[in-house]
Amino acid sequence: MAAHSGGLTAVAPSGSSRTAPRTGAGSPTVSVRGLIRGFGPKGVLNGVDLDIAPGEFVALLGPSGCGKSTLLRALAGLDHDVKGSGVINVPDRVSVVFQDSRLLPWDTVLGNVTLGLRDHDADAKALADAQEFYRDLKSRTAAAGRDPESIKILPGIVPVIGDTAEEAQALERELDRLIKPEYARIQLAKTLRVAPEDLPLDRQLPDNLPSEDEIEGAKSRYTLIVQLARREKLTVRELIGRLGGGRGHRTFTGTALQVADAIQEWFDGGAADGFNIMPPVLPSGLEAFVDLVVPILQERGLFRTEYTGRTLREHYGLGRPDNRFAGADGQALASIGSAF
Amino acid sequence: MGRQLKLNLFIYPGGHHEAAWRHPKSRPDRLLDIRFYQELAQRAEAAKLDAVFYADGPALESNVQYATRFRLEPFTWLSAIAAATEKIGLIGTASTTYLEPYNAARLFASLDHLSGGRAGWNIVTTGAERAARNFGLDEHPPHAERYSRADEFVQVVGKLWDSWEDGAVVSDAGTGVFADTSRIHPIGHQGDHFRVEGPLNTPRSPQGRPVYVQAGSSADGKAFAAKHAEAVFTAHQTLQSAQDFYADIKALAAAEGRDPEKLLVLPGISPYLGSTEAEARALRQEFDELTQPEYGLGILRKLLGVDLDGLKLDDTFPDDLLASAGRESSRSQLLLDTIRRERLTVRKVLHRFAGARGHYTVAGTPLQVADEIQLWFENGAADGFNIMPPWLPGGFEAFADEVVPILQSRGLFRTEYSARTLRGHFGLDRPESQYSPAGQTTQQLQGAHA
């Protein structure tokens, strides 16, 4: 439970206000006392008191403009620089599903519902997304009458490896700093269909981006980029760093052990049959992966120590396809005669 | 040093004799093994040859029932050869009828980069009717239209190769500038056949432009070669025919405002070697006897456009039949001349044809073959040759081991490479980008040759 003042100028909506005393069992989950809100000269909420018990379901009814959304936004700590006073106690984690146009059109329902959760656990969300993709594609493969094992799902990962986690992060920052943001911002603006000036480098992406339906071309890459930025609350500069690092692919930054753990988590967790390793720098990035991560994966029995096959199909465990024409009652060169 | 021969190894799977794969000297088991070809190219490089040449067409050729008529795609093949060699040139065929210029420009620029400047483009309009139906066309475009397209195709490819000026890649880690975009140019080509915006997505290659090679000897083909080609592959059965062609194409090049020495004429030659001439002839006979007449008869029918049903293998061709035969292509004209001149029987024609598809076959001692090469070279018939071994690898090994040293001892062929690029081997200049200041000056001086 956290106490805050509903996003008033004086107090940040999260962080410092989370140090408020926790309430005991049986206490309301949400508690509002004397909440006053106004925009300009107009008063909207005038001394609202509200308690919501754990598990309680509350609906606010009233005509348009009576202050329902204002109360909701105050609870979620979304409004900054508004006039008002009062005390608000809400749980540490608050999620808001906006009505119609305030929904994030690039995201799933689950993504909208869990919007507030995600910056606490971006890794878990990325894994969940990969798992969902994996399940979806395997089931579509089965639905197409194929063995789901006959399609290998190989996400791209950019391993940024250091002797310590700090070293790895320092390497990632060093690489990001080498990117010239001017050009990358123009490219990003093209992808997002906005003007480059609408993407200040040290601000997050603007709210009013086009929906995926309006994007011609690489729709899924558009969605992926927007989701990544929203999920991790990245500034444009940080986003450019991420995209420069792997053009939207997943970056694993850490020690060899941490990278191996992450790979295993995705592999064992139904998110991947394997990976496309995308070294951030060649050849050193590949060498680090091959020398440091591969042995750990081999040690754990997760990766071969010798080739058992000679063909790519054999490496992937895919069968050699039958020839659809062999033995079939169709035309053959021999029956065409002199033309061939 | 005087003028020296240019020699290419022209590799056909198994060799150029259509029945080569049946001969015990052949290695039909290795025809899909890239190491087989890499070893051959290394052998050719050890003999200091200028280039290996791989011909191609986008359709299955006839007679796969009796001959090794399959193809490996040339860029895949040449890339593997590039990785196994260091100096020798790499010439591949690409069709102006069944590719887009952007594809062709990328393929050759890439090959030129990864080989360090050894790529050459055998520009063909594709002769095979059958290719059309592999590309959504009901029929092969007519000759004139193919050459019209080829002309524009070559111009577009040249623009794309030039679209990055030399030095456009600055790779300055300090400023973070990788490429100087003032030296990368959209080509904005709008023509009858192509609209290509450019630029190419590959930096300008080591040779600037890979070497332009051409292999059609029809009137359209010669006009095209005179305008664009830097080497011409051609087929001649006699010194006289080769001399006529040589004089003609050099004059045409001069008429285009070009230096005739920058257009190399390289006839094909398929040598059978023996320690005596009789031994060499017997060797050729061995291969010819392995030929299946059925397929050759089909080819003859097609080339001559006449019905051969009444003829027996040991009959000579009746005059009225020869008179009614078609002579549209340079190849059918060549064949008719040969039949008439030598009063050949059907079987002899089939054998002649099986040897190297109309190219010059010669059977003799190494000295005789070297003499023949020198004769053509010094009498206005050839600037060098495409060596077309009847079978592989032995047919080439014999040439490399026994004929090349004679040519070297006569000062007619290099004993060491003096260059690292195909342009260097062929004695051709490296062109400036037409978009660079120097290139624009050159263009004004030389006219519009692209």
pLDDT tens sequence across A39-82: 666 677 888 888 888 878 888 887 777 777 777 777 777 666 56
Q: Is the pLDDT of residue A96 over 50?
A: yes
Residue A55 lies in a domain: yes
B64 closest CB neighbour out of A178, A179, A340: A340
* Domain B6-279+360-446: CATH class, spelled out: alpha beta
In single-letter form, the type of residue at position B180 comes to: D
The residue among A180, A281, A338 with the most chain B CBs within 10 A of its CB, best to mutate, is A338
**Is A131 found in the same domain as A245?**
yes
Instruction: Give contacts of A179 with chain B, Cβ < 8 Å.
Output: 176
DSSP A293: I
B297: closest chain A residue by CA:
A338
- Is there a contact between A230 and A114 (Cβ–Cβ < 8 Å)? no
A178 in reach of chain B (CB within 8 A): yes
Residue A82 lies in a domain: yes
CA distance A98 to chain B (A): 43
CA distance A294 to chain B (A): 28
Residue A107 lies in a domain: no
State the complex-level ipTM. 0.84
- Is there a contact between B287 and B23 (Cβ–Cβ < 8 Å)? yes
Higher pLDDT, A4 or B425: B425
DSSP B313: T
Among B95, B83, B69, residue whose Cα is nearest residue B37: B83
Q: Do B65 and A338 touch (CB under 8 A)?
A: no
Q: Residues of A numbered 291-330 whose beta carbons fall under 8 angstroms of chain B's beta carbons: which are they?
A: none
**Is A179 found in the same domain as A72?**
no
Instruction: Give contacts of A333 with chain B, Cβ < 8 Å.
Output: 64-65
- Is there a contact between B48 and B6 (Cβ–Cβ < 8 Å)? no
Which pLDDT score, from 0 to 100, does residue A108 have? 54
Q: Do A340 and B176 touch (CB under 8 A)?
A: no
Distance CA A189, CA B20 (A): 62
CA distance B180 to chain A (A): 14
Which pLDDT score, from 0 to 100, does residue A121 have? 65
Which pLDDT score, from 0 to 100, does residue A76 have? 76
Instruction: Give contacts of B179 with chain A, Cβ < 8 Å.
Output: none
Confidence band for A117, pLDDT divided at 50, 70 and 90: very low
B62 in reach of chain A (CB within 8 A): yes
Distance CA B311, CA A92 (A): 99
Distance CA B256, CA B238 (A): 27
Which pLDDT score, from 0 to 100, does residue B143 have? 87
- Write the CB contacts of A146 (distance below 8 Å, at least 6 apart in sequence): none
A182: closest chain B residue by CA:
B176
In single-letter form, the type of residue at position B382 comes to: A
Question: A233-286, pLDDT tens digit by residue?
Answer: 888 888 887 776 656 678 899 999 999 999 999 999 999 999 999 999 999 999
**Is A150 found in the same domain as A8?**
no
**Is A122 found in the same domain as A80?**
no
Residue A305 lies in a domain: yes
- Is there a contact between B96 and B146 (Cβ–Cβ < 8 Å)? yes
**Is A199 found in the same domain as A77?**
no
Distance CA B19, CA B66 (A): 7
**Is A252 found in the same domain as A186?**
yes
A340 in reach of chain B (CB within 8 A): yes
Confidence band for A22, pLDDT divided at 50, 70 and 90: very low
A180 closest CB neighbour out of B65, B176, B298: B176
Q: What is the mean pLDDT of chain A?
A: 80
CA distance B63 to chain A (A): 6
**Is A206 found in the same domain as A138?**
yes
**Is A301 found in the same domain as A170?**
yes
CA distance B185 to chain A (A): 18
**Is A218 found in the same domain as A259?**
yes
Instruction: Give contacts of A338 with chain B, Cβ < 8 Å.
Output: 298
B298 closest CB neighbour out of A179, A333, A338: A338
- At A69 the three-state DSSP class reads helix
Q: Do A333 and B176 touch (CB under 8 A)?
A: no
Q: In this prediction, what percent of chain A has a pLDDT beyond 70?
A: 77
Assign residue A251 the CATH number of its domain: 3.20.20.30
A331 in reach of chain B (CB within 8 A): no
A61 in reach of chain B (CB within 8 A): no
- The residue ranges of chain B whose pLDDT is under 50 are 446-450
Instruction: Give contacts of A178 with chain B, Cβ < 8 Å.
Output: 176
B32 in reach of chain A (CB within 8 A): no
Q: Residues of B numbered 347-386 whose beta carbons fall under 8 angstroms of chain A's beta carbons: which are they?
A: none
Q: Is the pLDDT of residue A340 over 50?
A: yes
B443 in reach of chain A (CB within 8 A): no
Q: Kindly report whether the peptide bond that precedes residue A283 is cis, defined as omega within 30 degrees of 0.
A: yes
B295: closest chain A residue by CA:
A338
Q: Do B62 and A339 touch (CB under 8 A)?
A: yes
A336 in reach of chain B (CB within 8 A): no
B69: closest chain A residue by CA:
A340
Which pLDDT score, from 0 to 100, does residue A14 have? 38
**Is A160 found in the same domain as A229?**
yes
Instruction: Give contacts of A281 with chain B, Cβ < 8 Å.
Output: none
Which pLDDT score, from 0 to 100, does residue A232 have? 85
Residue A65 lies in a domain: yes
Strands B6-11 and B384-387: parallel
Beta sheet of A42-52, edge-to-edge order: A2-4, A83-90, A30-39, A42-52
The residue among B32, B33, B62 with the most chain A CBs within 10 A of its CB, best to mutate, is B62
B60 in reach of chain A (CB within 8 A): yes
B178: closest chain A residue by CA:
A180
**Angle at B237 (CA atoms; ends B408, B246), nearest 5 degrees:** 70
The torsion defined by the Cα of B311, B315, B319 and B324, in degrees rounded to 10, comes to 30
Residue A108 lies in a domain: no
Domain extent at residue A36 = 2-94
B62 closest CB neighbour out of A178, A180, A340: A340
Q: Do A180 and B298 touch (CB under 8 A)?
A: no
Which residues lie across from B387 on neighbouring strands? Answer: B9, B269
Higher pLDDT, A117 or A170: A170
The total of structural domains in chain A comes to 2
Higher pLDDT, A338 or A156: A156
Q: Residues of B numbered 141-180 whose beta carbons fall under 8 angstroms of chain A's beta carbons: which are they?
A: 176
Residue A333 lies in a domain: no
B329 in reach of chain A (CB within 8 A): no
B292 in reach of chain A (CB within 8 A): no
Question: B347-398, pLDDT tens digit by residue?
Answer: 888 887 777 677 889 999 999 999 999 999 999 999 999 999 999 999 999 9
Question: B256-285, pLDDT tens digit by residue?
Answer: 999 999 999 999 999 999 999 999 999 999
The mean per-residue pLDDT over the stretch A319-339 comes to: 80
Instruction: Give contacts of A339 with chain B, Cβ < 8 Å.
Output: 62
In single-letter form, the type of residue at position B45 comes to: E
Distance CA B127, CA A107 (A): 55
**Is A184 found in the same domain as A35?**
no
Residue A321 lies in a domain: no
CA distance A280 to chain B (A): 16
Which pLDDT score, from 0 to 100, does residue A1 have? 42
A180 in reach of chain B (CB within 8 A): yes
Q: Residues of A numbered 2-41 whose beta carbons fall under 8 angstroms of chain B's beta carbons: which are they?
A: none
Instruction: Give contacts of B62 with chain A, Cβ < 8 Å.
Output: 339-340
Q: B30 is written with which tokens?
A: 């290795």
Which pLDDT score, from 0 to 100, does residue A245 have? 61
**Is A136 found in the same domain as A61?**
no
Q: Taking the domains of chain B in order of start, what are their residue ranges?
A: 6-279+360-446
